[in-house]
Amino acid sequence: MPCYAFDGLVPVVMPGAFVHPDAVLIGDVVIGPEAYIGPCASLRGDFGRIEIGEGANVQDNCTVHSFPGRTVIVGEHGHVGHGAVLHGCVVGRNALIGMNAVIMDNVEIGEDAMIGAMAFVKAGTEVPAGALWAGSPARQIRLLREEEKRWKVEGTAMYRELGQRCIRTLHPVAPLAAEEPDRQRLPGGYLPKAEIGPDKG
């Protein structure tokens, strides 16, 4: 993976974590055990520190950065969807950030909270534990139901397992010119659908 020291600080990737070879880590970045960092994610610890907790995931094309002296934290089992931007914020334990959401400076996302896809969370916002926020600017829609919390936990567990599968099986290859006869399919795994939205509560 592209991994760069900056001002004498070398990124840390703890045992059991998976960082995709096309992700970029710079400077004061600490990736916890069994975390998953997806392809083309950029974690720039060149102004402030970045901490990704145990079992958390930061998916493909995410950007994580900060301003000087501020630490970005994604807590244990945090879940950051494709293309999200985190800047100078704290994502609580077991919280979920939806795809392409933008979380600004000094935001605190509470434990077990969810931020909807494409949401914009303004600087200084405090999102309560267990709440669903969505929109641009984001606002609280309601509190999450227990089934939605379970759905989130199951989805994050799938990313923990994905990281371990990547460690075991991911490697560069040349593409095939044609599909093999009887090409196998990836093992199925069923993730129950949770209906999340303002009209579902």
- Residue 115: CA atoms inside 13 Å, Cβ hemisphere, count? 39
Average pLDDT for residues 131-155, to the nearest whole number? 95
Taking the C-alpha atoms of residue 103 and residue 47, their distance in angstroms, rounded to an integer, is 17
All structural domains of the chain, each given as residue ranges with its CATH number in brackets, are 3-143 (2.160.10.10)
- pLDDT grade for 135, boundaries at 50, 70 and 90: very high
Q: 3-state SS string over 1-64?
A: CCEECECCECCEECCCCEECCCCEEEEEEEECCCCEECCCCEEEEEEEEEEECCCCEECCCCEE
pLDDT digits (tens, 9 = 90+) for 13-72: 999 999 999 999 999 999 999 999 999 999 999 999 999 999 999 999 999 999 999 999
Determine the pLDDT at residue 189: 58
Average predicted confidence (pLDDT) for the chain? 93
At residue 113 the predicted structure's pLDDT band, cuts being 50, 70 and 90, is very high
DSSP letter at 193 equals -
> Please, which pLDDT band fits residue 185 given cuts at 50, 70 and 90?
confident
Grade residue 193 by pLDDT with cuts at 50, 70 and 90.
low
Six-digit token string for 24: 């970029």
Q: Are 87 and 65 in contact (CB under 8 A)?
A: yes
201 pLDDT band (50/70/90 cuts)? Answer: very low
What pLDDT is recorded for position 187? 77
Structure tokens at 110: 């509470």
User: In 3D, which of 194, 23, 176 has the Cα closest to residue 31?
Assistant: 23
Answer whether residue 140 shows pLDDT above 80: yes
The pLDDT score that the predictor gives to residue 199 is 45
Mean pLDDT along residues 149-176: 94
Phi-psi region of 12 (alpha: psi -120 to 50; beta: other; left: phi over 0): beta
